[in-house]
């Protein structure tokens, strides 16, 4: 669920602090032994593991109007070391919608485990992408022509009393592999202004990806990781509950604390902490990158070698033993490491050099 920006003034990620402030911050970090946070450039593609790449491409392109930008195959030892999965033979498709993209990956070998059929929205492995639409009725009607499996009982409009989210319309559903997805409509005055500027008209009602949402057990713990370590900034908050929320996520009696974060570019990352009910299951401790429930968020950062050292100092859980070339994910020449957040969600932290070249 996308949220409007906070009204509290915040320094933008690109603004420079006065020299005295920078000196004070440096002295405080030195005195307390707290390392400086990373400097993210963008949230990149969300990686979704699928069982059949051709079937998944057909669904995302025909039902949701994504466009295929590239397809590739690989069986590289460097990718084994990046992902922690031995003997990989993979097919990858990069799909674009508006300015955002996703990467669908099929592991021919070894095959990962399917999404648990009884998965719920408050299970800790929950992650979805939120696809912005200009017309919820037209978009949902298009979906149901493809016989999608709904999670929501119907598109929901959030109530007027919820000032931060009032008027937002949303619908949860599943792709052919059972991954949860969301359609989201922002009324005037809500969401990023670009969603109201006609972007993506060539794709009918489907405009782009606003954010990826992840279930978290403890918002404060997740903020210490995503904000204080990875350097993302908080841009919105909301507390959602009531009949509309229950029917949206299909969790009875749900009260959800929502926190939205952003990097300078790309989709946002949204925390979903279920204050009630607290029966969401933790992500399996033996989750591997080829398991279908283990989507990955790509985070592109500056000063890659120094950033990796900071992550090590912070005792972040690494899956990659050392930085590797990310292909067939990402772009040629990019290097990255696969890490876990406190709830077990996977993050591909990637060097920014090729990203800058592509943007220029």
- How large a percentage of the chain has pLDDT more than 90? 83
Q: What six digits make up the tokens of 4?
A: 């409007």
pLDDT at residue 359 greater than cutoff 70: no
Identify the pLDDT of residue 331.
84
Check residue 52 and report its DSSP letter.
Answer: -
**Rounded CA gap, 10 and 317, in Å?**
30
pLDDT at residue 28 greater than cutoff 50: no
Give the SS3 label for residue 256: strand
Tens of pLDDT along 163-176?
989 999 999 999 99
**Rounded CA gap, 342 and 126, in Å?**
14
Give the SS3 label for residue 298: strand
Identify the pLDDT of residue 332.
87
Sign of the alpha-carbon torsion through 80, 85, 358, 227: negative
pLDDT at residue 247 greater than cutoff 50: yes
**Rounded CA gap, 119 and 75, in Å?**
31
Q: Which residues fall within 8 angstroms of residue 12, CB to CB, at 6 or more apart?
A: none
Q: What six digits make up the tokens of 191?
A: 């969401």
**Rounded CA gap, 173 and 141, in Å?**
13
Identify the pLDDT of residue 360.
43
Identify the pLDDT of residue 26.
34
pLDDT at residue 281 greater than cutoff 90: yes
Distance of CA 175 to the CA centre of its chain: 16
Tens of pLDDT along 108-166?
999 999 999 999 999 999 999 999 999 999 999 999 999 999 999 999 999 999 998 99
The angle subtended at Cα 277 by Cα 271 and Cα 283, nearest 5°, is 55
- How large a percentage of the chain has pLDDT more than 70? 86
Check residue 312 and report its DSSP letter.
Answer: H
According to DSSP, the β-strands at 346-351 and 296-301 are: parallel
The model carries a pTM of 0.89
What's the chain's average pLDDT? 89
- pLDDT-derived band of residue 202, with 50, 70 and 90 as boundaries? low
Identify the pLDDT of residue 12.
33
Question: What's the rounded mean pLDDT across residues 262-280?
Answer: 98
């Amino acid at each position: 669920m996308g949220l409007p920006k906070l009204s509290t003034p915040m320094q933008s990620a690109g603004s420079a602090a006065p020299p005295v402030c920078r000196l004070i911050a440096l002295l405080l970090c030195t005195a307390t032994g707290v390392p400086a946070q990373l400097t993210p450039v963008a949230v990149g593609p969300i990686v979704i593991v699928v069982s059949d790449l051709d079937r998944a491409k057909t669904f995302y392109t025909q039902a949701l109007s994504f466009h295929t930008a590239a397809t590739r195959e690989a069986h590289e030892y460097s990718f084994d070391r990046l992902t922690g999965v031995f003997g990989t033979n993979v097919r990858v498709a990069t799909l674009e919608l508006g300015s955002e993209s996703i990467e669908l990956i099929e592991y021919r070998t070894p095959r990962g485990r399917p999404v648990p059929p009884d998965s719920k929205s408050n299970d800790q492995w929950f992650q979805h992408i939120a696809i912005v639409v200009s017309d919820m009725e037209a978009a949902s009607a298009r979906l149901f022509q493809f016989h999608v499996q709904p999670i929501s009982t119907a598109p929901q409009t959030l109530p007027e009393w919820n000032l931060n989210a009032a008027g937002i319309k949303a619908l949860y559903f599943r792709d052919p592999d059972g991954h949860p997805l969301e359609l989201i409509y922002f009324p005037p005055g809500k969401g990023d202004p670009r969603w109201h500027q006609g972007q993506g008209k060539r794709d009918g009602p489907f405009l782009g990806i606003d954010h990826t949402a992840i279930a978290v057990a403890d918002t404060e713990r997740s903020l210490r990781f995503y904000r204080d370590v990875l350097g993302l900034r908080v841009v919105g908050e909301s507390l959602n509950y009531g009949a509309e929320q229950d029917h949206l996520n299909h969790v009875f009696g749900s009260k959800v604390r929502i926190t939205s974060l952003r990097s300078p570019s790309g989709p946002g990352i949204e925390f979903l902490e279920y204050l009630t009910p607290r029966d969401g299951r933790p992500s399996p401790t033996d989750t591997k990158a080829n398991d279908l429930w283990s989507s990955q968020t790509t985070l592109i950062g500056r000063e890659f070698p120094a950033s990796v050292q900071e992550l090590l100092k912070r005792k972040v859980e690494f899956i990659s033993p050392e930085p590797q070339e990310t292909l067939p994910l990402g772009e040629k020449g990019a290097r990255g490491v696969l890490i876990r957040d406190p709830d077990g969600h996977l993050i591909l932290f990637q060097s920014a050099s090729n990203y800058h070249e592509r943007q220029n």
